């Protein structure tokens, strides 16, 4: 599936505004439209989840994250963490599909606690890797390998350009069709407060019809 870039989507909206609207607000520019596309994408994805509309992996992105070993409160205790990009918050835990090794062979379970209860379960085997989210960090526990350097994240980012080498000309993680139309419609609605519909001079007398 071929995806449009953010630049292509925003330019299409910009051309529609220029072709059918007039406005007197200098705040309307292509950068504002690009920001609105990010917001509309997050809003529409949240609505899709709320309505239980299927969201496949084409809406997600994969990013490589650096693993950092840091001290806790200047104490001898150290922990491994990764800094998470800003994620779409309206979908809860479903904004992360995978966090694990770069070969995808070992995933970290998303838990709300720092306590690992599996060690008290008979015959549970080795404790499984997991992470606990604190602010915009994932604190890692039960590392599968010592001193990891990178982890792979597959997630719904609020700003897709925060992921690796993505830029405005990269494929933007929204499929075409109805979903893309929903986003473009949402952006136009958000901009409606800035816009005044252009009056058309149907009789060509140099005066807009009233």
More confident call, 34 vs 75: 34
Give a yes or no: residue 50 inside a domain: yes
On the question of pLDDT at 192 being above 90, the answer is no
More confident call, 140 vs 196: 140
On the question of pLDDT at 87 being above 90, the answer is yes
Statement to judge: residues 69 and 19 lie in one domain: no
On the question of pLDDT at 197 being above 90, the answer is no
Q: How confident is the model at residue 54 (pLDDT cuts 50, 70, 90)?
A: confident
Give a yes or no: residue 202 inside a domain: no
Statement to judge: residues 51 and 68 lie in one domain: no
Please tell me the predicted confidence (pLDDT) of residue 61: 92
Give a yes or no: residue 24 inside a domain: yes
Highest mean pLDDT: which of 13-27, 143-157, 176-190? 143-157
Give a yes or no: residue 163 inside a domain: no
Query: Which of residues 155, 187, 205 is at a domain's end?
Result: 155
Taking residues 55-70, what's their average pLDDT?
Answer: 89
The residue range of the domain holding 26 is 6-56+170-197
Give a yes or no: residue 130 inside a domain: yes
- Answer yes or no: pTM beyond 0.85: no
On the question of pLDDT at 80 being above 80, the answer is yes
Give a yes or no: residue 19 inside a domain: yes
Statement to judge: residues 110 and 66 lie in one domain: yes
Give a yes or no: residue 209 inside a domain: no
Please tell me the predicted confidence (pLDDT) of residue 26: 54
Taking residues 16-33, what's their average pLDDT?
Answer: 68
Residue with token string 């001898």: 76
Tell me how many domains the chain contains: 2
Statement to judge: residues 67 and 147 lie in one domain: yes
Taking residues 114-140, what's their average pLDDT?
Answer: 72
């Amino acid at each position: 599936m071929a995806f449009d870039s953010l630049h292509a989507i925003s330019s299409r909206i910009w051309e529609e505004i220029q072709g059918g609207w007039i406005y007197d607000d200098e705040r309307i520019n292509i950068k504002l439209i690009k920001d609105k596309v990010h917001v509309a994408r997050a809003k529409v994805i949240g609505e899709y989840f709320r309505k239980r509309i299927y969201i496949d992996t084409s809406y997600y992105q994969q990013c490589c994250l650096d693993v950092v070993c840091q001290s806790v409160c200047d104490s001898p205790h150290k922990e491994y963490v990764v800094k998470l990009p800003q994620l779409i918050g309206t979908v809860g835990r479903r904004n992360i599909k995978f966090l694990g090794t770069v070969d995808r062979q070992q995933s970290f379970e998303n838990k709300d606690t720092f306590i690992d209860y599996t060690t008290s379960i008979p015959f549970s085997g080795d404790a499984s890797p997991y992470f606990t989210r604190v602010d915009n960090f994932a604190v890692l526990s039960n590392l599968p390998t010592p001193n990891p350097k990178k982890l792979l994240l597959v997630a719904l980012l609020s700003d897709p350009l925060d992921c690796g080498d993505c830029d405005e000309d990269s494929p933007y993680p929204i499929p075409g069709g109805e979903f893309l139309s929903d986003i473009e419609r949402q952006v136009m609605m958000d901009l409606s407060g800035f816009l005044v519909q252009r009056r058309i001079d149907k009789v060509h007398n140099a005066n807009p019809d009233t």
